[in-house]
Chains A and B, each alone.
Chain A
C-alpha cells in the first residue's frame, strides 16, 4: 500500500485520491499523512493496533502509515458491537485501538486517529518504504459461516496482484466493500495502483452506493452479487437512470446468470469480471466472459499447469496466489486451517465451495457449510435461490435451512417482491416459485416461503445455511 501510494504521489501529487463524506484528499496529502502516522507509531512504539473507523481516508492514512512503520493494523467494521469487539480484541491481544468511538472498553488504550498523526514526519521515513521490512496486515474473515478468524497478510505479497495494473487516473472506483474485508483491501490496492480516485461513502449500503453512482461520477464498481441485486432493486424503485459504467467486478459470492444478464443489460458498455478470491487464499482467478461459473478450460490440467484452480470430489481446490501467512495465533505452517489439503497434493487447498461441471462450465453450488440436510437429502441452497431470483416478480431472495422436527430441516425462502410486500400478489408469487422449482427434487423445493421488505446480509453477502 505504501509503495503504491509513494508511486502515485510521485507521479501525480495533486490528483484526488479519495472522496468521502468528510471531504477529499490528494495522493500527495495522503502520503504525507501516512508518513506522519508512521512517525507517531514509531515514536510511541506501537507495533500492532486495531482500527475501528468509518472514514476511508483515515483508513488509508492509518494502513499506509502502518505499512511504512512496519506495524500491523487489524480493521473492524466501524459499527461493530462493543461487547463482541472486546472479545475479539482480547483474543487477538490488541493493546491499542484507533477509533473515534467512546464506547469501546477493554484491556487496551483508545487512540483517536487525529492524535496518531505527528506534527512532522521523520526525515528517515521520507526516503521511502523499506521493501526488506515486513509490512504486516491482519484481515478478519467476514464470518458468514461461523466466528470470524484473523488472517495475517503482508502488503508486499498482496501488492503482487496489482503489479500489472497500469495508471487509469480518470477512473473513479466506488468502495462498496468495507475496507476491513479482503475484497475491500483489493479495491484499495487496485485504486492506488491505477492512481485512480476512490469514492467511499459511509454507510456503504447499496442505497448509498446508488447515490454515489448518481452524484459522484463513479465509473467503476466492485461489489458482491448481493450488493448488486439490492442496488438494482433500489434503482428500479426510485426509477433512477443509471449512468454508464466502465468496469464492474463481482466477487465474494457466485454470480447467478440472471444477475449477470441484468448487469450487462443495464450497463452495456461496462467490462464485467468475476473475481474468485478469499481472505485466506488471496486472489485466485477471474472470469471475464460474462457467463456464470468458471470455464472448464481454466482448470488445472497437464495442458494448463499454471492454473491455480482444480476440482476434487465436487469441491473447488486452489493453490494460493497472494495468500495469507497464517491465522493469528498459529504458526505460518499451520495455514492448513485455510482448508485441509487436497489429499493428492499438499499444495492444493480445499475451499469449501461446492461445484458441478455442467458442459464447459464449473458451476458453483454453494458453500459446504451452507448445505441443508433435508431428511438425509443434501440440498444446495444456491441453485434454488437462482431459480427464484430469476422470476420477474422477485427483487431479492434468500434460501436457507429451517430446522424441522420431522425432517431435520426444510428448505426455506425469504422473498422481497418487486415493489415491496404491501403491493405484491404474494399468492401469485408463491405459485410462480412452485413452478420455478417444480423440476427439482422434492426435498429441494422450499417448504417455507415468507415475504419480507429486506434481507439481512453480512459483509455484503447473503446468509444461507441453517438458521438457528
Chain B
C-alpha cells in the first residue's frame, strides 16, 4: 500500500478530509482509492501543459517556490482542472493552501476502494 503523504505543515487542516488526524496521518487503513491516482494523472497532465516539473516530481515536491514554482495563475489552472475532474479541489475548499503535491493527493483520499 502506498504511504500516504503528510498534509500541509503548520497545522493546516482546513482542506483535509475527516479520515485524517490533525497531524495529517490517516485514521484508518482503507486502501488508497482510484481518486488519488486520477488526481496524480491530472497533476501530471497539468505540469506537462505548463512545461514544469520536467525534472521529476513526487509527493514531497513543493508546489511553490523552489519546488514546482507555481504562481497564482498556474495554481488557479490546476484548481480548475481538479474541480473539473472531481467537483471540488483543495485550493478552493477553504483553510490553508496545499504545500506539496502530496497535500493535493491527500484531499482525494476519501474514495471508494
Q: Is the pairing of A and B real?
A: yes
Residues of A within 8 A of B (CB): 374-375, 402, 404-407, 410, 412, 430, 434, 442-443, 447-448, 450
Chain B residue numbers with a CB within 8 Å of A443 are 73
Contacting pair A405 B73 (CB below 8 A): no
Contacting pair B80 A402 (CB below 8 A): yes
Contacting pair B49 A410 (CB below 8 A): no
- A52 vs B76: C-alpha distance when bound (angstroms): 44
Contacting pair B84 A450 (CB below 8 A): yes
Contacting pair B84 A447 (CB below 8 A): no
Contacting pair A407 B73 (CB below 8 A): yes
With CB as the reference atom, state the residue of chain B lying closest to A403: B92
Nearest CB on A from B56, distance (A)? 22
Contacting pair A375 B73 (CB below 8 A): yes
- A406 vs B76: C-alpha distance when bound (angstroms): 6
With CB as the reference atom, state the residue of chain A lying closest to B80: A448
Q: Please pick, from A374, A410, A430, A442, the residue contacting B80 in the complex, using a CB distance under 8 A.
A: A410
- How many residues on the B side are at the interface (Cβ–Cβ under 8 A)? 12
Which of B49, B77, B81 has the most C-beta atoms of chain A within 10 angstroms of its own C-beta?
B77
Nearest CB on A from B29, distance (A)? 32
Chain B residue numbers with a CB within 8 Å of A412 are 80
Contacting pair B79 A442 (CB below 8 A): no
Chain B residue numbers with a CB within 8 Å of A404 are 76, 79-80, 92
Contacting pair A448 B73 (CB below 8 A): no
Nearest CB on B from A405, distance (A)? 4
Interface members, chain B 54-97 (any A CB < 8 Å): 72-73, 75-77, 79-81, 84, 91-92
Contacting pair B72 A407 (CB below 8 A): yes
Q: Please pick, from A375, A405, A434, A448, the residue contacting B91 in the complex, using a CB distance under 8 A.
A: A405
Contacting pair B75 A406 (CB below 8 A): yes
Chain B residue numbers with a CB within 8 Å of A430 are 49
- A448 vs B84: C-alpha distance when bound (angstroms): 9
Contacting pair B72 A406 (CB below 8 A): yes
Contacting pair A410 B92 (CB below 8 A): no
Contacting pair B92 A447 (CB below 8 A): no
Contacting pair A410 B91 (CB below 8 A): no
- A448 vs B81: C-alpha distance when bound (angstroms): 7
With CB as the reference atom, state the residue of chain A lying closest to B45: A427
Chain B residue numbers with a CB within 8 Å of A410 are 73, 76-77, 80
- A448 vs B77: C-alpha distance when bound (angstroms): 6
Known: A404-B80, A450-B84. 17 other contacts (CB 8 A): A375-B72, A375-B73, A404-B76, A404-B92, A405-B92, A406-B75, A406-B79, A406-B91, A410-B76, A410-B77, A412-B80, A434-B49, A443-B73, A447-B73, A447-B76, A447-B80, A448-B81
Contacting pair A407 B80 (CB below 8 A): no
Those 3 A-B pairs whose CB atoms lie nearest each other, nearest first: A447-B77, A405-B92, A448-B80
With CB as the reference atom, state the residue of chain A lying closest to B70: A406
Chain B residue numbers with a CB within 8 Å of A375 are 72-73
- A39 vs B77: C-alpha distance when bound (angstroms): 63
Q: List 22 A-B contacts (CB under 8 A).
A: A375-B72, A402-B80, A404-B79, A404-B92, A405-B91, A405-B92, A406-B75, A406-B91, A407-B72, A407-B73, A407-B76, A410-B76, A412-B80, A442-B73, A443-B73, A447-B76, A447-B77, A447-B80, A448-B80, A448-B81, A448-B84, A450-B84
With CB as the reference atom, state the residue of chain B lying closest to A402: B80
Chain A residue numbers with a CB within 8 Å of B75 are 406
Q: Please pick, from A374, A405, A434, A450, the residue contacting B79 in the complex, using a CB distance under 8 A.
A: A405
Chain A residue numbers with a CB within 8 Å of B72 are 375, 406-407
- A254 vs B17: C-alpha distance when bound (angstroms): 47
Chain B residue numbers with a CB within 8 Å of A402 are 80
Which of A375, A406, A430, A448 has the most C-beta atoms of chain B within 10 angstroms of its own C-beta?
A406
- A406 vs B72: C-alpha distance when bound (angstroms): 7
With CB as the reference atom, state the residue of chain A lying closest to B92: A405
Which of A374, A410, A430 has the most C-beta atoms of chain B within 10 angstroms of its own C-beta?
A410
With CB as the reference atom, state the residue of chain B lying closest to A446: B77
- A404 vs B81: C-alpha distance when bound (angstroms): 11
- A448 vs B76: C-alpha distance when bound (angstroms): 9
- A259 vs B51: C-alpha distance when bound (angstroms): 32
Nearest CB on B from A98, distance (A)? 45
- A314 vs B80: C-alpha distance when bound (angstroms): 32
Which of B72, B76, B81, B92 has the most C-beta atoms of chain A within 10 angstroms of its own C-beta?
B76
Chain A residue numbers with a CB within 8 Å of B79 are 404-406
Nearest CB on B from A12, distance (A)? 58
Nearest CB on A from B59, distance (A)? 22
With CB as the reference atom, state the residue of chain B lying closest to A407: B76
Chain A residue numbers with a CB within 8 Å of B91 are 405-406
Nearest CB on A from B108, distance (A)? 17
- A439 vs B91: C-alpha distance when bound (angstroms): 28
